[in-house]
Structure 1
């Protein structure tokens, strides 16, 4: 990945930190602009071999059969107590060959966890550091034949394109590093460069939380609305943590939920910062935060008590917090329904 870092620097990019990049014109581009974004905060863990599907079926909340090369379902990996170790998107890129797209900080910890069980199966796990992930946001002629439905994918022998939800059309493109510069050049002919923050704000607007290593083992899947996004199959067989996850759903025991909010001030709060009500009682925490391009506030994902009313006065670090509506209904989205409605596979 060193060569890719050099390429981003040659394009005027600068690392904001170890995983996020920014470009000189970022501040002048609104969130509804069309853009090309390096998705350096995401990465791929590969599961490959004759037993890959069977192995994943026993570890993940998705029904692996739904990952059919057309639908790329969301999923989680849990502890025996049902807490999320990592959330991911599951892509079938070839027979007996799967990619998990997840936050880069969780690839190594998840691999270490899964390696405990891998020796009992005919399959291998590998961090695909040779892949580059790009984000395409907005209208572009290049995307004319790409999937038009969220969580659907198209692929060829080398690259994969997956549609993600958001206020603008957007796609994640994963391809070998040695092909990335050519694809980058083709895309920049139509799209302006933008930093990782643009993609992260689109995730916030979509009510989509990609957990980091700092969040690992903190939430039940329902606390990040994963069942409302179709990321939990309640009809498949057992997987690690399944009993707790199912009990929380059927008994209605989820007391905290993911929400969208806006915070006064242009400095993002530290992840995990406490949300307090008018009586200074802690009622939740910040899950993700990005500065609004207007510079007048911050866009947030929060995990907050379900007992708190939407219009209740709230604050973080003494700054006013205003809640916003989720872009999807807070009810179970049946992944079996999604699978049945999958678009025909695309070449």
Structure 2
């Protein structure tokens, strides 16, 4: 069974065309140290927020995204993907409810195109999509930050993807990275900005590039412009991370995603690695090559961020067989070699 995908023939639906995110400079060592040894916060300029309001907002999104939005309550957030009819991810989101709407936190470079595409499928549903990025500010907090957050929120969420609301917005616990706590604070921009000076006496303000590194170390891929329509959700571990609900109803690409899951055809996964280079030269979408098969790519860089010890850390989608021996290289078979690192979670055993 497939969901209705479009109000017009498929060829009339434009592809998701991404803007270009600025390359963030390498953070200084003291910024990484603040996260690892004390606590830090960072306004997250690399994200935008789509708001979906109206009586049918949850039902509409339920028929479009890989996660269950009909049963999403105010106390939880969840990951979700938005796929093409071929089951390839056009975007990834963190989804939550607040008192006004369902919110989708998304990479800013794909936001406008994805919002436009989703809007084409609203049809007669009572749902309206809008860009809330100017009104809301997202702030990441990592490390020893609970005491500082206690001055803003009465309750601090303990479980991953648990959400609490307060007078200054919503606070969501997200997966730990490097055994450090992480939280997302999203609220009205003016009110959040007014609270930030109080954090400066308790936490170190660092570059949003540090958050990109923490996301990579948490093993949580993010779909950005250079990798749209490249991956079925399982290729970027979304099934492991709770970003796909295999019991829900149909959505674009659902048959392909389900077939990959139940026929044991997942032969590619996303791994964590470090590689020599800088974010200007190592980019999402760069192909990977195996030493034993230099003529064709064996994978692709999904996300990249400057690493504290030098070089860059990457999340790399790769053929599982390529991890069994030999070496994997960036850009060409004689390019820099990837040094693979353990993810903070295990892949399921394929049958």
Taking structure 2 as the reference length, the TM-score comes to: 0.84
Give the one of 234, 246, 250 matched to 1:238.
250
Give the one of 265, 274, 277 matched to 2:287.
274
Say whether 1:160 aligns with 2:170.
Answer: yes
- Aligned with 2:346: secondary structure? coil
1:80-159 matched pairs, under 5 angstroms: 80-94=85-99, 97-128=101-132, 129-140=134-145, 141-144=147-150, 145-156=155-166, 159=169
In structure 2, the residue matched to 1:288 is 303
- State whether residues 20 and 41 of structure 1, in contact with CA within 8 Å, keep that contact through their aligned partners in structure 2: no
CA distance in 1, matches of 2:21, 2:135: 17
In structure 2, the residue matched to 1:186 is 198
- Aligned with 1:161: secondary structure? strand
More off after superposition, 196-205 vs 142-151: 142-151
1:153-212 deviations in Å (ceiling 9; x for gaps): 111365111111122111111111211222211211211111011111111111111111
In structure 2, the residue matched to 1:261 is 273
1:251-307 deviations in Å (ceiling 9; x for gaps): 12223211100113456512222211213242111111222223x322111010121
Give the one of 302, 315, 318 matched to 2:316.
302
- State whether residues 20 and 196 of structure 1, in contact with CA within 8 Å, keep that contact through their aligned partners in structure 2: no
- Aligned with 1:319: secondary structure? coil
CA deviation after TM superposition for structure 1 residue 20, in Å: 6.2
Give the one of 70, 77, 84 matched to 1:72.
77
Stretches of structure 1 lacking an aligned partner (at least 5 in a row):
1-16, 333-347
- State whether residues 299 and 319 of structure 2, in contact with CA within 8 Å, keep that contact through their aligned partners in structure 1: yes
- State whether residues 223 and 303 of structure 1, in contact with CA within 8 Å, keep that contact through their aligned partners in structure 2: yes
CA distance in 2, matches of 1:109, 1:152: 29
CA distance in 1, matches of 2:342, 2:308: 20
1:63-90 deviations in Å (ceiling 9; x for gaps): 1134211120111111111111111111
CA distance in 2, matches of 1:224, 1:233: 15
Pick closer, same or farther for the CA change 1:162–1:156 going to 2, 3 Å. same
CA distance in 2, matches of 1:86, 1:48: 19
Give the one of 193, 216, 220 matched to 2:228.
216
More off after superposition, 310-319 vs 126-135: 310-319
More off after superposition, 51-60 vs 64-73: 64-73
- Aligned with 1:136: secondary structure? strand
Q: Compute the RMSD of aligned alpha carbons.
A: 2.1
In structure 2, the residue matched to 1:339 is none
- Aligned with 1:293: secondary structure? coil
- Aligned with 2:228: secondary structure? coil
Stretches of structure 2 lacking an aligned partner (at least 5 in a row):
1-19
In structure 2, the residue matched to 1:9 is none
CA distance in 2, matches of 1:158, 1:109: 29
CA deviation after TM superposition for structure 1 residue 233, in Å: 0.7
